Amino acid sequence: MNVFNKTFALETKKQFQIIDITKEVLDALKQSKVKNGQIAIFCPHTTASVRINHFEPLLLQDVMKLMYRLAPIENNYAHDFFEIRTEIQAGERSNGHAHIKAFLLGSSETIPVMEGKPVLGFRQSVFFIELDGGRTRRFVVSVLGE
Amino acid sequence: MNVFNKTFALETKKQFQIIDITKEVLDALKQSKVKNGQIAIFCPHTTASVRINHFEPLLLQDVMKLMYRLAPIENNYAHDFFEIRTEIQAGERSNGHAHIKAFLLGSSETIPVMEGKPVLGFRQSVFFIELDGGRTRRFVVSVLGE
Amino acid sequence: MNVFNKTFALETKKQFQIIDITKEVLDALKQSKVKNGQIAIFCPHTTASVRINHFEPLLLQDVMKLMYRLAPIENNYAHDFFEIRTEIQAGERSNGHAHIKAFLLGSSETIPVMEGKPVLGFRQSVFFIELDGGRTRRFVVSVLGE
C-alpha cells in the first residue's frame, strides 16, 4: 500500500477564477505509482474551493454568475466589519462573500483510481476555484492505494 | 489492506431524478471484504452528482424545487450558446442549468466503514442525482481498508 | 498501513449552530499514529453537515443568514406534510428546510495528512453544522495511512 501526498502552488490573477488542475492530479498519481486506490484533492484555504466539472469557458462564466447571485459582493457581511476592526492593518480585504461561496462549494473531492487512471468522465476536469484573488495559493493531491 | 473499486451502470428516465444507490454501495462493501476503512462514492459525469440524505419522496421534490429555483432552466446560460455552436449536430441539449446544479452539489462523498458496515445514520441513503436525464449513467464505489 | 475510526458525540443547543470540531479531528489523528495519509470526517445525520472554513463568529452569522435565505424556514416544504402525516406522534419537527440545507452543504470532507498533521490552512477549522437542533448528534473521524 502506497501513500503519496504532494502540495502544488499556483498564482491566481482574478477575484473569481476557475483553474484546471487535472494535469497536476495526473502528475501526482503517476509519481505515486498507485494503480488501484483513491485520490483526494484538498484546498487549504477559506476563500477558495475544489470542484470537478466541464472545462468550457462559457460554462465557467455561468458558474461565476450564479455564485455572485447567491453571495453578492455588494451585500453587507458581518465578517467584513470584523475584518475592518481587527485586520485592516494587515491589508485584509472585505471578503465575506468569498468565504460564503467556499462554504457552498466545499474543500475536497475524492476520485477512485482504476488501472492507474482516475475514473474521471470524458468531460470532467478537476478545478481549483479562486474566490478572493489574486493570491498565491496551494492545493494538495493525496493518493492512497496499491 | 484491501482496495476494491466497482463501477455500476444505471438508466435514468427523467430530467431530474434522485436514485437510491445504497444497495449498490453495500454490495461493493461486501465484495471488498473490508471491515474497517472508507468508501468513496464518485460520479463521473458533469451533469449529475452524488449526495447522502433521507429517501423520502416528498423531500426529494423539495430538493428538486430548490435546485430549479437556484439554477432555473429558463435562464440564459452562456454554455448553451457554446453547445449550440459546436455540438448541436451531436444531439447535445441545452444543459447549462444542469452543470450549474452539479457544481453546487459536488461529485463525491466518503463514508467510514466500521465492523463491516458503512456508518450511515438511521435515515441516510446514498443518492445518485441525475440533473440532465434520461441517460445511461455510471457511478464508482471505491473501498479502502482492512 | 493503519485504519482508525472514531465516533464522537456532541449536544447541540440551537436550531442552526456551527461547532468547531478541529480538536476532535486532531485527537483522532494522534490516536491513529498515522503520519502520512488521509482523514475523512463524516456526518451520519440528514439534517446536519460537515464543512471546513474560518471560525469567526460574525462570518458564521453570515453563513446562517445565507442558508436561511436559500432555504427559508417559512417556505412550504412537501416533506413537512409527510412528517405531519406519519411521524407527528414521534415528536418530529417540520424540518424540510434543514434537509435542504444539508443537501447543499454535504456530508463529508477529506483532509490529507503529512508529517503527522492535517494539511489544514492557517485559518481553516473543521465544522459540524447543526441545521435542526438542539439534538444529540454524532460525527465520525476516519484516518487511513501509515
pLDDT tens digits, chain A, 146 residues: what are they?
899 999 999 999 999 999 999 999 999 999 999 999 999 999 999 999 999 999 999 999 999 999 999 999 989 898 888 766 665 555 567 899 999 999 999 999 999 999 999 999 999 999 999 999 999 999 999 999 99
The C-alpha cell that represents A101 in the structure block: 461561496
- Output the pLDDT for position B90: 55
Helix axes A96-105, C96-105, angle to 10 degrees: 90
Surface-to-core class of residue A52, CB atoms within 10 Å of its CB (0-12 exposed, 13-18 middle, 19+ buried)? buried
Interface test with C, best of B1, B2, B58 (most C CBs within 10 A): B58
Question: Number of CB pairs < 8 Å for A and C?
Answer: 99
The C-alpha cell that represents B92 in the structure block: 447535445
Residues above pLDDT 70, as percent of chain C:
93
DSSP class of C49: E
- Output the pLDDT for position C43: 98
Interface test with B, best of A66, A69, A105 (most B CBs within 10 A): A66
- Output the pLDDT for position A130: 98
User: For the ranges A110-119, B69-78, C57-66, C73-82, which has the lowest average pLDDT?
Assistant: C73-82
Residue of A nearest to B104 (CA): A105
Which of B62, B105, B109 faces C108 most closely, judged by CB atoms? B109
The answer to whether residue C113 scores a pLDDT higher than 70 is yes
* Rounded Cα gap, residues B128 and C50, in angstroms: 19
- Quick check: helix, strand or coil at residue B129? strand
CA A77 vs CA A73, A80, B117, C12, C120: distances in Å? 9, 6, 42, 25, 24
Global model pTM greater than 0.90: yes
- Output the pLDDT for position A34: 98
Which of A111, A113, A146 faces B108 most closely, judged by CB atoms? A111
Q: Comparing C-alpha atoms, which of A38, A29, A22, A23 is closest to residue A6?
A: A29
Which of A53, A58, A62 faces B46 most closely, judged by CB atoms? A53
User: For the ranges B37-46, C88-97, C131-140, which has the lowest average pLDDT?
Assistant: C88-97
* Rounded Cα gap, residues C52 and C71, in angstroms: 21
- Output the pLDDT for position C85: 61
Interface test with B, best of C4, C43, C108 (most B CBs within 10 A): C108
The answer to whether residue C126 scores a pLDDT higher than 60 is yes
Residue predicted with more confidence, C81 or C10: C10
Residue of B nearest to A55 (CA): B46
CB contacts of B96 in chain A (<8 Å) are 59, 62
Chain A closest CA to C118's CA: distance in Å?
A: 10
The answer to whether residue B89 scores a pLDDT higher than 80 is no
The answer to whether residue C22 scores a pLDDT higher than 60 is yes
Question: Residues C9, C76: contact at Cβ < 8 Å?
Answer: no
Question: Residues A42, C112: contact at Cβ < 8 Å?
Answer: yes
Question: Residues B138, B46: contact at Cβ < 8 Å?
Answer: no
The answer to whether residue C89 scores a pLDDT higher than 60 is no
The C-alpha cell that represents C91 in the structure block: 415528536
Averaged over B82-99, what is the pLDDT?
Answer: 71
The answer to whether residue C82 scores a pLDDT higher than 90 is no
In tens, the pLDDT along B30-64 reads 999 999 999 999 999 999 999 999 999 999 999 99
Mean pLDDT of chain C: 93
* Binding-site residues on chain C for chain B (CB distance < 8 A): 1, 3, 5, 7, 38, 40, 42, 44-46, 70-71, 77-79, 81-82, 96, 99-100, 102-104, 106-108, 110, 138, 140-142, 144
